Amino acid sequence: MEPPRNLNEKPQRLRVALVQTKPLKGRYAENLANLQSAFAQIESEVDLVVLPEAALTGYFLEGAVYEVALSARRFADDLTRAWHAVHGDRRVDLACGFFENDEGTYHNSALYLELARGAGRIVHVHRKMFLPTYGVFDEERFLSRGRRLQVFPTRFGTMALLICEDAWHAIVPTIAAIKGARILIVPSAAPGRGVEGPGELTSILRWREILTTAAVEHGVFVLYAGLTGFEGGKGMTGSSCVIDPRGEILVSSPPTEPCIVIADLDLREIDLARATLPLLGDLDAVLPDLLLDEELPLPRGSCHPEVGP
């Protein structure tokens, strides 16, 4: 990829690699070594590498999460060393999910990291907001939820991180897009559920519907990285994919095996899609009226602006 001609000009193309991991449950050091081997398999020049939720520990850890949780800085340093061990000072951005220990408060988090000249800069850390406690899930028993959805600038434009169930609530990608996100990164660890058609899992079909709807409605690229493998009899569904702003799946991976898939994104497609179907612009205009609706339930202690305290 050619560099931009000036500091204010962003690249118009982005090559992304989705690394679908199959971690050994709770064995962080071994998984980190395996990730380094996976990095070595990325032979072409890529700009962004995206990994799943809980990519280096496995997801269903329950109380063992406290033993493997790391500070964002420690996790970023480990990713930096793993990349530079095989690619030297080659520049790349990384997005990856992990269990975070923030000075004794534990989160299901994902970070976005810029690697250049041998150093890693943390651009953003997102803490999962929706911690499921239904079915096979029990996250909120062991973790604290994030309290804010933020977008963040990168050299490829404004992005947002949504972790797994965050993306299932339509208001979350909507808010991200309203705040300026042009690319949504979705690390996930999704167990398979149900069967439809000729062996197609219902959960995989539902994920595709959710992700393509978000891409089309907001004119964004969606980068979905799914965990694969079995944990305690529960099978993760992988199915990592890249979806363009018109809802077309550019690349996808199988559900059951670790793999790497690469896609080339033309970032100009974002503006073209939004011009063709200006739903985001319409929403931007109408959203203030929706938020001022006095019938909306609000948290205790808050008030509508026109009512006053």
Confidence (pTM): 0.92
Measured CA to CA, the distance from residue 57 to residue 73 in angstroms comes to 17
State how far the alpha carbon of 292 is from the alpha carbons of 299, 303, 307, in Å.
14, 10, 10
The predicted structure's pLDDT at residue 199 = 64
Closest to 182 (Cα-Cα) out of 201, 162, 148, 158: 158
Fold of 13-287: Nitrilase/N-carbamoyl-D-aminoacid amidohydrolase (3.60.110)
| pLDDT tens digits, one per residue of 129-150 | 999 998 889 999 999 999 999 9
Neighbours of 95 (CB within 10 A): 28
The predicted structure's pLDDT at residue 45 = 93
Closest to 191 (Cα-Cα) out of 233, 242, 161: 233
The predicted structure's pLDDT at residue 202 = 85
CB 236 within 8 A of CB 226: yes
The predicted structure's pLDDT at residue 146 = 98
The predicted structure's pLDDT at residue 303 = 55
Domain spans in the chain, listed from the N-terminal domain onward: 13-287
CB 266 within 8 A of CB 246: no
Q: Which residues of the chain have pLDDT under 70?
A: 1-8, 194-199, 299-309
| pLDDT tens digits, one per residue of 207-231 | 999 999 999 999 999 999 999 999 8
